[in-house]
Structure 1
Amino acid sequence: DPLGKPSDRVLLFAYLNSFHETGIKSPLDAAILKRGPPEMEGYRKIDEIPFDFERRRLSVVVEKGGERLLITKGAPEAVLPQCVRFEANGEEALFDATAKAKSKTVYQKLSGEGYRLLAVAYRFVPKQPVYHSTDERDLVLVGFVAFFDPPLEEAAEVLRSLRRDGIKVKILTGDNELVTRHVCAAVGLSQVRLILGEEVDRMSDPALAHAAERFKIFARVSPSQKNRIIRALQHRGHVVGFLGDGINDAPALHTADVGISVSTATDAAKEAADIILLERSLKVLHNGIIEGRKAFGNVMKYLLMGTSSNFGNMFSMAGASLFLPFLPMLPIQILLNNFLYDLAQITIPTDNVDPTFIRKPHRWDVSLIRKFMIYIGPISSAYDFLTFGALIALFHASEQAFHTGWFIESLATQTLVLFVIRTAGNPFRNRPSRLLTGTIFTVVLIGSALPYSPVAPLLGFTPLPASFMLFLIGLTGTYLLFVELAKRRLMKRFLRDRFV
């Protein structure tokens, strides 16, 4: 009741309100109804005044024994100002300053302990066709319904992990300041200063953008205010993910770059979300982010490898055609080379990713791909021309031997180079996955063995002398060394240009 004592009458009126509500029921309504129906025989619904985020309360009108009763349930700060009397110990009294102070102390104490509260009040109303929000006045305060929903045990640990991995966590909640402080402190998000919804309304867009960047906790915010905060963060260049499960979270879920909800959320929230978590665990969210970064890192490896190799091969093919009286490589050999090259990349998704890459978020940056292609592609082409010169001047290769030699050199250099470009650091410190290592070496061995196999004549290949294979080993080793040096210089310049 308003003085903090247990009261079945509070539960009865709260149950009547939730039971007869026709809108989308909140988790708090579900918790009230789950308690089981009290003795409510004889009550008949007459009308309803729906909830809205301005009033922050909902009322139903029921009739029993010819008398009509308006029952209001909502945020304490929205219901208490409408009350003129209160019930306690089975008696009704004037809701004067002393009573208001006592009831406020009750709800603030419970809020400070982490309980979410709804105030319940009523009044007898005359018979009329329709009831409006203006009828929510001169109420009798019955008391408070308290709900305790502790944070998950893993929440504090997961939030620490998110911060460690470069993800800023901010709280946007409709709960009051006291509940918000208690819950945030329990998960390690305590902050002396938090922003209330009424302050958000008074802020201009630039001021809100500054506050959204600086502060972590926003309490008593409405759906439109959540939306403004997310847009403010986006305007400052952040990629924003938003996790919510209520109907009031739907606008923010839709506005965020990534809307995340849960399987138990309202239909409106799930419809607006991009991702729905099936497990009741924040670890799933963190694991998903890490796996996403790994996938992004491995996609970048594929793009850097593919663009630089193809860029170099284009120059090599065009340049060789200028002085050779025959095609540098036959069409069937080009197709086979591309097939084996693609086969070597199938296991890139299994590769290990630099721990430093996983520890911070990354954006799609086409400039890095372009610079890598321009820097590394010409090195690949230069080694192709070196191979052309050696085949003609040193090994006096025939047309068929020239095709075979460039096929093996091209396949070896453009597949083995993945060991170098797969990491921004030292390739010997971050080892590739076993599956990727096995696939690359298998493809190189297959390409090297084809000229000595029974199908060689069908593919236009011919066996090459052992001296060429020794030359190729040395050539490939120096190529990988030069690519590593160019990569380090490029990455150093790229990071300097990006952050200076």
Structure 2
Amino acid sequence: MTSTDQASLGQGLSSAEAAARLNQFGPNQIRPKRQRLVILEFLARLRNPLVLILLAASGISAVTGDATGACVIGLIVLASVTLDFFQEHRAGQAAQRLAAQVEVVATVLRDGTPCEVALSRLVPGDVVLLSAGRLVPADGMALEADDFFVNQAQLTGEPYPVEKRLGPTLQAHTWDADAPNAVFMGSSVVSGSARVLILRTGPLTALGQIATSLEKQPPATAFERGTRQFGLLIMRLTFGMVLFVLLVNIALHRPLLESFLFAVALAVGLTPELLPMIVSVTLARGALRMADKKVIVKRLSAMQDMGSMDVLCTDKTGTLTEAKIRLERHIDAQSRDSAHVLELAYLNSHFESGLKSPLDDAILQHDEIDASGWNKLDEVPFDFERRRVSVLVERQGRRLLVVKGAPEDILGLCTRYEQEDGSAAPLDGAARACITALFDSLGEEGLRVLAIAWRDMPPDHPHAVVTDESALIFAGFAAFLDPPKASAGEALAAMAASGVAVKIVTGDNERVTRHICMQLGVPIHGVLTGKEIAAMNDDALRARVADVNLFCRANPAQKNRILLALKARGHVVGYLGDGINDAPSLHSADIGISVDSAVDVAKQAAAMILLENDLGVLHAGILEGRRTFGNVMKYIMMATSSNFGNMFSMAAAALILPFLPMLPLQILLNNLLYDFSELPLPLDNVDEEDLVRPRRWDMTFIRNFMLTIGPISSLFDLLTFYLLMTLLKADETLFHTGWFVESIATQVLVIFVIRTRRNPLRSHPHPWLTWLSLGVVALAMLLPFSPVASGLGFVPLPLEFFGLLAVLLAVYLSLVELGKRWFYRRYAAPAANQSAERH
């Protein structure tokens, strides 16, 4: 560290120096995202193995004299790649703009003034102001610290907060990780405040160098598992069919290059190469619509998972309640109003340096309490294992440890209780039973309760430690009212009607939560407490978790176990949380959901951010996720039925025809036109009945749909072959032309049947989908009569072909409609029953 740095420790950097250091050290990211030029992003698309094979084959064709065919293949490949790149690039930019709206920031001194700066733009030399609930944005050393406790379990595995104090100056290139003033990226501030000098950022941090658990991939989401399974299915089908066709053509002694091109083109036809673009654009458009509904999507794949979500785990405060907490009563052990209990509670909340809870705010609203005569000496911050906070205060030589926390824990530490005259009496069994009954009665009234206790400390006792929390004197209870949210009951009913089971996972006690649920009209199916969960192994919890919808007194580790148990039973799980203790669960859930007012730790871990803490907003987001999922599934079912049927019949035709059933470049053109017709799918309307229940990736369902609709498509292709050869006496060129037009017409128009479970005439597609699909079919019919026909290997079709085509299309679409109805009667009902059983 230079002398200039030492002199400017307190004031931070200038804006100009910060910009220069950002260029020097790069962004503060463990794995910085490389911003590639647009042209490099486009060229990266050409690395697709199928694209490279096609380009290589095109070059070989040009060398062997087929310049026209080589140019056409090259142009088709270029058009397809460009189409894919343009749409997905726009979708990616839209997603980045949304994520930027909720990016986590740090308070940094720049030019001597505090300002908000994105974490990625921090540089060595920055001075950051940290307080409870904030993330430590990079490695550094504390310049000032006031009861500064951090949780660095992500780095060290230590479950308890560690206090950071001032210490010797640390050097950026070599410093002691155990130094008392060293702080690390990935830690979170539990309590207190500090001014920290950033020494190392990005990959140079301890977290960046050892790639700890914060950078471990979370468990695969339902969407990721589904796409992986679908990719494997398509890969197996494609490899088997292409190998079969190639061997047949070689066995029949057809030209090797043409046979190779045909096999590769067939692979392109079988591969749903438009799927990444369809998924990206659909998700991005869904995310933009969700932004209009006050939901910001940070991770686009969460849109799909939202559509599949069938269980939502949520806390009670602020979700089911108004989070407008007021202190209703402050009573002693005999249930009498006690000013002393209020004073002790006020001192604890006033001097606590951790993140203030709504309960603290409610206590501090009683500004008639005068804390000016008291001085704070030390504190033991709150943690979720102890569930209490202690402050050591002094006035006129008297030192007092004031403890506030969960009644069950506080009572276990008390040996005496305070009487009306201020004297302390032994807390024997009878007194303990009376106090416990008083606590239970407050819970029955729906009041949240904190226990208040204290003890005198020796005058020479300078610090507070956990072991001081013993032999306490029980003062009384502070009881709070948090009324239920008016909109929550309606939103919960809407969730249940939409097939989403809401499970309440809270640190509060059972009686208070039951009272709130009763007021909201939420039936309780089963209850598990934190103590009961702690006594269960994972198998036992997995067996019970589906039958329970109320989990009380659960700590962060237990909340995470609940989520993992639900996922292990096949549920797609969302988790709604906003506190420090919610970060592990937000990370493990299929969809981590937080709110804009949440602490940084929670916002960082979440995949979605609600701009309004309202279940009604979340319900609207769930429906949008299902709409997005529905449109992606339309393309999947098209690609695995009609498209696959056409490619299958093409492979079969290679066996029975004396020539290739379609030229390689015609297959590629067919595929390009088909893909072009599907571009408006992200805009398409989704039937209301498809929004009623959660929908998820089901490879058995997709495979069965393919085996139902695909053979109908293949049957009509083979019928077309027969009619072309017998009625029209088609030669090779006329056959290619006729089948190209028929193939496009059946592949494209069948979308109007497949896109809905209803009668196609009763479900209205988006106008863009209608006009673009009809336009592509019209273009395919006109191509044989255009100036480019000869270059594409087409000849004009006789008039009687179009009459034949009209009859074939009418019968084909009717049979697909009948097959579709049979399929949904046969397979949709069992799927619905299985979904019901999971609940």
TM-score range, shorter chain: 0.7 to 0.9
Q: Is the 8 A contact 2:525 2:547 kept in 1?
A: no
User: For this pair of structures, how many residues does the alignment match?
Assistant: 499
**What is the letter of the counterpart of residue 66 of structure 1?**
G
Asked if residue 272 in structure 1 is aligned to residue 587 in structure 2, the reply is: no
Alignment of 1:299-338 (within 5 A): 299-322=632-655, 327-338=660-671
Q: Is the 8 A contact 1:181 1:190 kept in 2?
A: no
**What is the letter of the counterpart of residue 360 of structure 2?**
D
| 2:452 corresponds to | 120
Higher mean displacement: 292-301 or 48-57: 48-57
CA distance 1:272–1:331, shift in 2 (3 Å):
same
1:433-468 deviation per Cα after TM superposition (whole angstroms, max 9, x unaligned):
333223322222232233344554554444323321
Q: 1:372 aligns with which of 705, 708, 712?
A: 705
* Distance in 2 separating the partners of 1:219 and 1:497: 35
How much does 1:311 deviate?
2.4
CA distance 1:94–1:190, shift in 2 (3 Å):
farther
CA distance 1:395–1:197, shift in 2 (3 Å):
same
* Distance in 2 separating the partners of 1:457 and 1:104: 92
Asked if residue 29 in structure 1 is aligned to residue 360 in structure 2, the reply is: yes
Alignment of 1:218-233 (within 5 A): 218-233=551-566
Secondary structure, counterpart of 2:760 in structure 1: coil
* Distance in 1 separating the partners of 2:656 and 2:527: 73
Asked if residue 387 in structure 1 is aligned to residue 720 in structure 2, the reply is: yes
Q: 1:249 aligns with which of 578, 582, 589?
A: 582
How much does 1:269 deviate?
2.6
* Distance in 1 separating the partners of 2:362 and 2:671: 61
* Distance in 2 separating the partners of 1:269 and 1:34: 27
* Distance in 2 separating the partners of 1:61 and 1:438: 74
* Distance in 2 separating the partners of 1:351 and 1:61: 63
| 2:492 corresponds to | 159
How much does 1:331 deviate?
4.3
| 1:408 corresponds to | 741
How much does 1:289 deviate?
1.8
Asked if residue 39 in structure 1 is aligned to residue 370 in structure 2, the reply is: yes
* Distance in 1 separating the partners of 2:830 and 2:408: 53
Secondary structure, counterpart of 1:120 in structure 2: strand
Q: Is the 8 A contact 1:86 1:95 kept in 2?
A: no
1:303-352 deviation per Cα after TM superposition (whole angstroms, max 9, x unaligned):
12112233233333334445656554344433332222112211222333
* Distance in 2 separating the partners of 1:259 and 1:296: 18
Q: 2:347 aligns with which of 13, 16, 19?
A: 16
Q: Is the 8 A contact 1:301 1:422 kept in 2?
A: yes
**What is the letter of the counterpart of residue 448 of structure 2?**
R
* Distance in 1 separating the partners of 2:667 and 2:386: 71
**What is the letter of the counterpart of residue 534 of structure 2?**
D
**What is the letter of the counterpart of residue 702 of structure 2?**
I
| 2:522 corresponds to | 189
* Distance in 1 separating the partners of 2:682 and 2:453: 60
Higher mean displacement: 207-216 or 7-16: 7-16
| Superposition TM-score, scaled by structure 2 size | 0.54
CA distance 1:496–1:219, shift in 2 (3 Å):
closer
Higher mean displacement: 229-238 or 455-464: 455-464
Name the Cα RMSD after superposition.
3.1
Alignment of 1:262-301 (within 5 A): 262-301=595-634
CA distance 1:202–1:319, shift in 2 (3 Å):
closer
Q: Is the 8 A contact 1:26 1:246 kept in 2?
A: no
Q: 1:432 aligns with which of 756, 759, 765?
A: 765
| Superposition TM-score, scaled by structure 1 size | 0.88
1:17-59 deviation per Cα after TM superposition (whole angstroms, max 9, x unaligned):
2343344443433444566694222433222223344432211
| 1:179 corresponds to | 512
CA distance 1:34–1:345, shift in 2 (3 Å):
farther
Bigger RCO of structures 1 and 2 (CA < 8 A, at least 6 apart): 2
* Distance in 1 separating the partners of 2:474 and 2:648: 83
Secondary structure, counterpart of 1:389 in structure 2: helix
* Distance in 2 separating the partners of 1:83 and 1:434: 76
1:278-309 deviation per Cα after TM superposition (whole angstroms, max 9, x unaligned):
22211222122222222222222211211223
Q: Which runs of 5+ in 1 are unaligned?
A: none
| 1:58 corresponds to | 389
**What is the letter of the counterpart of residue 153 of structure 1?**
A
| 2:804 corresponds to | 471
Secondary structure, counterpart of 2:641 in structure 1: helix
Secondary structure, counterpart of 1:464 in structure 2: coil
* Distance in 1 separating the partners of 2:759 and 2:813: 12
How much does 1:66 deviate?
2.1
How much does 1:83 deviate?
5.5
Q: Which structure 1 residue ranges, 4+ long, deviate > 6 Å from structure 2?
A: 95-102
| 1:201 corresponds to | 534
Secondary structure, counterpart of 1:242 in structure 2: strand
Q: 1:363 aligns with which of 672, 696, 705?
A: 696
1:362-384 deviation per Cα after TM superposition (whole angstroms, max 9, x unaligned):
33122232333334333323322
CA distance 1:331–1:173, shift in 2 (3 Å):
same
Identity %: 52
* Distance in 2 separating the partners of 1:107 and 1:79: 12
Asked if residue 49 in structure 1 is aligned to residue 388 in structure 2, the reply is: no
**What is the letter of the counterpart of residue 122 of structure 1?**
W
* Distance in 2 separating the partners of 1:368 and 1:93: 70
* Distance in 2 separating the partners of 1:311 and 1:76: 64
Q: Is the 8 A contact 1:15 1:37 kept in 2?
A: no
| 2:443 corresponds to | 111
1:146-193 deviation per Cα after TM superposition (whole angstroms, max 9, x unaligned):
333323221111111111122212212111122111111122224386
CA distance 1:34–1:66, shift in 2 (3 Å):
same
* Distance in 2 separating the partners of 1:4 and 1:254: 43
CA distance 1:87–1:458, shift in 2 (3 Å):
farther
Q: Is the 8 A contact 2:415 2:427 kept in 1?
A: no
How much does 1:92 deviate?
4.4
Higher mean displacement: 324-333 or 438-447: 324-333
Asked if residue 212 in structure 1 is aligned to residue 548 in structure 2, the reply is: no
Q: Is the 8 A contact 1:312 1:378 kept in 2?
A: yes
* Distance in 1 separating the partners of 2:552 and 2:404: 20
Secondary structure, counterpart of 1:170 in structure 2: strand
* Distance in 2 separating the partners of 1:386 and 1:145: 82
**What is the letter of the counterpart of residue 579 of structure 2?**
G
* Distance in 2 separating the partners of 1:400 and 1:190: 70
Q: Is the 8 A contact 2:417 2:475 kept in 1?
A: no
Q: Is the 8 A contact 1:87 1:140 kept in 2?
A: no
Higher mean displacement: 99-108 or 399-408: 99-108
How much does 1:128 deviate?
2.5
Q: Is the 8 A contact 1:242 1:253 kept in 2?
A: yes
**What is the letter of the counterpart of residue 50 of structure 1?**
P
Q: Is the 8 A contact 1:241 1:258 kept in 2?
A: yes
1:62-110 deviation per Cα after TM superposition (whole angstroms, max 9, x unaligned):
122222110111122332451623265x744647678767765654444
| 1:445 corresponds to | 778
Alignment of 1:136-147 (within 5 A): 136-147=469-480
**What is the letter of the counterpart of residue 674 of structure 2?**
Y
Higher mean displacement: 245-254 or 313-322: 313-322
Q: 1:75 aligns with which of 406, 411, 416?
A: 406
* Distance in 1 separating the partners of 2:367 and 2:770: 62
Q: 2:417 aligns with which of 67, 85, 90?
A: 85
CA distance 1:450–1:34, shift in 2 (3 Å):
farther
* Distance in 1 separating the partners of 2:648 and 2:405: 72
CA distance 1:38–1:453, shift in 2 (3 Å):
farther
1:406-426 deviation per Cα after TM superposition (whole angstroms, max 9, x unaligned):
221111100111122223454
Higher mean displacement: 170-179 or 480-489: 480-489
Higher mean displacement: 355-364 or 166-175: 355-364
